[in-house]
Amino acid sequence: MRVQIRNLNDELRAVTQARHDSAMKMEQARAAMSNIRERMFELHEVDLSNPYKLDDEGGQVLVFEKTAYDAATAMEEISGYKDKLKNLGNINPGALDDYEAEKAKLDEVNRQFTDLDRARQGLEKAIKKLDKVAREQFLATFAVVQKNFQDVFSSLFEGGEAQLALEDNVDPLDAKIEINARPTGKKMRGVSLLSGGERALTAISLLFALYLVRPSPYCIMDEVDGPLDDANIGRFVNLLRRFSHQTQFIVVTHNKRTMAASDMLYGVTQEIKGISKLVSVQLDEASRIAA
């Protein structure tokens, strides 16, 4: 929508320039007509601004000093008027037509300007409304995610704390989000100062905090447990168990403890070189058979 606003603004500037050009041409035409009227009145005492009068029936007729002409007299006067027109100098006889043409162009440009300006105002109003709704929904969702983040982080780090904060004095839609965490027994600090395993668990906590806002029937995780040690693997597995009643988790991993805690294993093997084979194991069933 902002792209449409920019395009409309470009068109609006073009139409504004065209309107300005047309207005300038109209002013030039008015000046030319005024000059013609002044010179005609000065030389011949003919008022071109009102050369008509009403007849008895209300119609317009040209005013002439004489009402009757013979052919010879008429031709002499026509010749005289032609000479007088030549003596007037470089006069544009089509000035009135030019004026009317430019006026028509200006009216069209004004109409286009009005339409574009109305469309621009409508789009700006819609953008302001969408920004307001987006800002309200973002802040409401951010508050929920912040609470979920603290809850999930505390379950992974017993006694730990985590915070999400928006950049001060900045529009929430443009503000940076700061993540601070305090694992058990440590000071509150930014995630960049945490160990690799602590950063991984913090990221997992934030992932589940977002997930709780809008849960899905399945979730795929790829090597998220790579940086975790054995103790943190246990916390990670317990977190998956906590949410497994409503979501099926598909975890891509090489960690033995994560695989041991799974309900089903899928793997790829090559019994024959160059030929891959998919293998699946139901761990509960395999445990009963082994027993």
Report the range of poorest mean pLDDT among 92-101, 136-145, 221-230.
Answer: 92-101
- What ranges in the chain are assigned the alpha helix state H? 2-44, 71-87, 95-156, 196-213, 230-243, 256-260, 283-290
pLDDT tier, 61 (very low <50, low <70, confident <90, very high otherwise):
very low
Closest CA to 106 of 10, 31, 15: 15
Q: What is the pLDDT of residues 111-162, one digit of tens each?
A: 988 898 898 898 889 988 998 999 999 999 999 999 999 988 888 888 788 8
CATH of domain 2-132: 1.10.287
pLDDT at 291: 47
CATH 3.40.50.300 domain range(s) in the chain: 216-291
Count of beta carbons in the 10 Å neighbourhood of residue 276:
9
* CA gap 107, 91 in Å, rounded: 26
pLDDT at 48: 60
CATH of domain 216-291: 3.40.50.300
CATH 1.10.287 domain range(s) in the chain: 2-132
pLDDT at 60: 46
Average pLDDT, the chain: 79
Residues found in the chain: 291
Structure tokens at 146: 């912040």
| Cα torsion angle, 33, 35, 38, 43, sign | negative
* 117 phi/psi in degrees, rounded to 5: -65, -40
